[in-house]
Every structure is written in structure tokens, then in C-alpha cells.
Structure 1
Amino acid sequence: MKIRMALCAVLLTFSPVQASDDTPEAVVHALFDAMRAGDGAAARALVNSGAALERLQADGSIKAGSFEKWTAWIDAQSPGDADEQIFNLETFSSVAGLATVAAPFVIHYKGELVGCGVNQFSLALTSEGWRIIHGIDVPHIGDCTTYRDEVEGQ
């Protein structure tokens, strides 16, 4: 019996297992942790090369951007300058290897509340793990001071 338990322990130690934190939600959380740290390289490591980052404007137009520009901006920030808090994440996946994460947010810049809304990220399970392949957000039209309470109270 002791030999079986020891063998199981050895197999569990060396078995290739997907890391428990390598989920679409964990990647999105890590993205904003990197932003808060002012670490563009850490953010870039979570995003597929060439991924678009867009914003749905109030008038219905889409403002195009890129994660490359955003992560360069992150590199120019000091730790704590940009503090985007995400909450109430919802993940949708109907096909193995693809997921969409909706992440409401409230963002402070240098201590001042500057916006709120919803981020939506498309992710793919690559050979390196889950990676963001597209991002879009829509700003909330209304009072950002009460937005989080409103969303969490739903």
C-alpha cells in the first residue's frame, strides 16, 4: 500500500497537467495585474501578436487600436498609476479552445476615477496556454461612482 501511495505521489508530481491558474479568467486578471504594475512585457506575454484592441463608441462607431500601443503605454506608467479593477467576470465557451470573457471595470488613473464600462476579450487555447486574440470595450454612459454597486447588485 505504501508503495502504491508513493508511486501515485511521484506520478502526480511529474504528470503534465494544465496549470490551475491558466484559465481565460486568470489571463484577464493577470493582464490588469500587469497594467497596475506598469509591466508592458508581462501584459504582452498574455496577448497573441497582432491582436486588435478596440472601443465601441457611444455613437456606434468602433475606434481601432492595438495591444501593442496599449502595452507601450503601460510601459510608460509607474506602478499603481493605472488601476483598472475588473469584477463579476462572465465566461462563455461553446467550443473547446475558444472563450469569451466579459469583464465590467472601473478605472482610476493616478488616484482619480476616470471611467467604467465593460471589457470583452476573446481568447484561444494555444500551445503556450490561453492567450487573448481580441479585445473590445464599451464605456458606461452614466455615473461611474455607483457603477460597480449597480453591476454587483444585479
Structure 2
Amino acid sequence: MRFFLPLALLLAAPALQAQDGVPSAEDDVRAVVTELFDAMRAADSSRVRAVFHADARLHTTMRQGEDTRLVEGSLANFLTAVGTPHDEMWDERVDEIVVHVDDGLATAWMDYAFYAGEQFSHCGVNAIQLVQTDDGWKMLNLIDTRRRECEDTM
């Protein structure tokens, strides 16, 4: 009997080590966020659509003088804009993606700089809330800030 426990632990060790390669929820969320920007660069509105929840909402905040303006966007309009041919690639470059997860809710926060081709357009922060569904993590709310001047334009 005293040999049984060490033998059981020895046999279980490979199974425990195999779990190290399993992506975490944070990794899964980062992959969804990365897919959004990769799909935008590819001008693939179907891929962009696939990362959003059916009830997704988009907002932008921007300064106008001393005031902050909140603008609600439309996912349908965003998908049309991404999928409409444009002369330059839309390249939203993001810095470190900070992710927090609790059960089926996640928040991703990142600085970004948006380029049309190699031409800098604007920068700011993206804050994205995602929910876990039967089809994986989906973006439910995306809000960003926009400004023309940034300390680092990536």
C-alpha cells in the first residue's frame, strides 16, 4: 500500500504537465482581440463579424475643446467600412493587451495607433468587454478614445 501512492503520483505527473500547454482564458481573449485587428488589416468583414456578439455595441469618446463627446457606432456600418475596398490597409497597431477575466466576463485594455497604410491617423485606448459563449469569447462592448497626438505612435 505504501508503494501505491508514489506510483499513482508518478503516473499522474505527465497528465499534470500536459495541462501547461492549455491556453488560459486570458490567452483566448487576447487571441480574439488580435483576430479583430488581423481581420481589419485583411479587410475581411466576415472575420471581423465573427469576433463580435450579436448584441455588440461600439462607442467612441473624443475631446472637442473642453468637452468630451460620446459617439455611438453601428456594427453594421463598421463591417461595411472594413469590407469596402480602400486604397490603404487599415492597420490598428496595439500595445500590450491587458486582460482581466472573471467567469464568463473579460475586459481587454490596450493603447493603439491607427494607420492608413503608413500614414498615421489617430491613436488612443481601446477598452473591450467580452463574454464567453458556446462559440468562444465574443466582443460585446468596444469603446475607444481618439486623439491626433500621442506620446508614442507605435
Q: Which residue of 2 aligns with 1:104?
A: 111
Q: Which residue of 1 aligns with 2:152?
A: 147
Runs of 4+ deviating beyond 4 Å: 18-22
- Structure 2 gaps of 5+ residues are 1-10
- Structure 1 gaps of 5+ residues are 13-17, 150-154
2:95 maps to a residue whose letter is F
Aligned residue-pair number: 134
Matched, 1:77 2:85: yes
Considering only CA atoms, is the larger Rg found in Structure 1 or Structure 2?
A: 2
SS in 2 for 1:88: coil
Q: Which residue of 2 aligns with 1:67?
A: 75
Identity rate of aligned residues, in percent? 29
More strand by share: 2
Query: How far did 1:23 drift?
Result: 1.1
Deviates more, 1:102-111 or 1:122-131: 102-111
Matched, 1:56 2:64: no
The structure 1 residue matched to 2:30, chosen from 10, 25, 29, is 25
Query: How far did 1:147 drift?
Result: 1.9
Contact kept, 8 Å, 1:51 with 1:67, in 2: the verdict is yes
Superposed CA offset, 1:50-77 (max 9, x none): 3111101212221001222111111013
> Matched residues in 1 for 2:77 and 2:142: separation?
13
Q: Which residue of 1 aligns with 2:8?
A: none
Query: How far did 1:42 drift?
Result: 0.2
SS in 2 for 1:28: helix
Q: Which residue of 2 aligns with 1:46?
A: 51
Matched, 1:133 2:140: yes
What TM-score comes out, normalization by structure 1 length? 0.75
Matched, 1:114 2:121: yes
> Matched residues in 1 for 2:87 and 2:98: separation?
27
Aligned alpha-carbon RMSD (Å): 2.7
Contact kept, 8 Å, 1:123 with 1:131, in 2: the verdict is yes
> Matched residues in 2 for 1:84 and 1:96: separation?
29
Contact kept, 8 Å, 2:107 with 2:130, in 1: the verdict is yes
